[in-house]
A and B are shown apart, each in its own frame.
Chain A
């Protein structure tokens, strides 16, 4: 069974630029999550999708971050404009339903200079 795929793996941008990350969850997984993991910290949930609907986006900085999950499969997370403090690893995870067993992708490491 293929795992959660993410791209790109690494991205370096300048502040005020925009960036997008892509996630392909495990086939058949209805629930998809985006997390932000700052160096030395645990993952912080940004947004949770159930199929193509948003379940929780209370910690998503909506003035600069947006996410979508079209057709309930792939998802993209966008930052526009980026700030220095957005430097982090962005993790995508999926699960068959809203359960506690999440499967994480390898993450996208973003550096904002």
Chain B
């Protein structure tokens, strides 16, 4: 079993939709949870960083962590074409998911 599981998609939504991206993990020792955005042929860019359980909001982005279920989510409100990218979850800095490819259609 992989330590971090992430649905690779691809996910395609119309502009303005709410997007939900998710990861599950197996190691209950993970305490730090990150979401990165990676545009084509670019390096990952840190979007959100959460410690332990709970929610964190930053503009149109909300990160949720449910440690009891070993499940994390990233919500994007009012999605824009510029949000089209691959979204990677990461645990404790070095344990990355495979990424979900998102396309927002104008």
B32 touches A42 (CB 8 A): no
- B60, CB-defined interface residue at 8 Å: no
Q: How many residues of A contact B (CB 8 A)?
A: 18
How many whole Å from B64's CB to the nearest CB in chain A?
Answer: 18
A106-B41 in contact given A42-B88, A100-B32, A101-B49 (Cβ < 8 Å)? yes
Interface pair B42/A100, CB less than 8 Å apart: no
Contact A41 B49 (CB under 8 A): no
Q: Which of B66-84 contact A (CB under 8 A)?
A: none
User: Given A40-B8, A102-B46, A45–B41 Cβ distance below 8 Å?
Assistant: no
A-contacting residues of B (Cβ < 8 Å)? 4, 6, 8, 32, 34, 41-46, 49, 88, 90, 93-94, 96-99
A91 to B38, CA, bound (A): 12
Q: Is A25 an interface residue (CB 8 A)?
A: no
Q: Which residues of the partner chain A approach B94 to less than 8 Å between Cβ atoms?
A: 45
Query: CB-CB < 8 A to B99: which residues of A?
Result: 40-42
A43 touches B8 (CB 8 A): no
**B-contact bits for A9-43, CB 8 A (1 contact / 0 none):** 00000000000000000000000000000001111
Are A106 and B42 in touch, CB under 8 angstroms? yes
Cross-chain pairs A/B with CB under 8 angstroms, 22 sampled: A40-B8, A40-B98, A40-B99, A41-B99, A42-B88, A42-B90, A42-B96, A42-B97, A42-B98, A42-B99, A44-B96, A91-B44, A93-B43, A100-B34, A100-B49, A100-B93, A104-B44, A105-B43, A106-B41, A106-B42, A106-B43, A109-B41
Write the chain A residue with the least CB distance to B93.
A100
Cα of A56 to Cα of B49 in the assembled complex, Å: 22
Which residues on the A side are within 8 Å of B41 (C-beta)? 106-107, 109
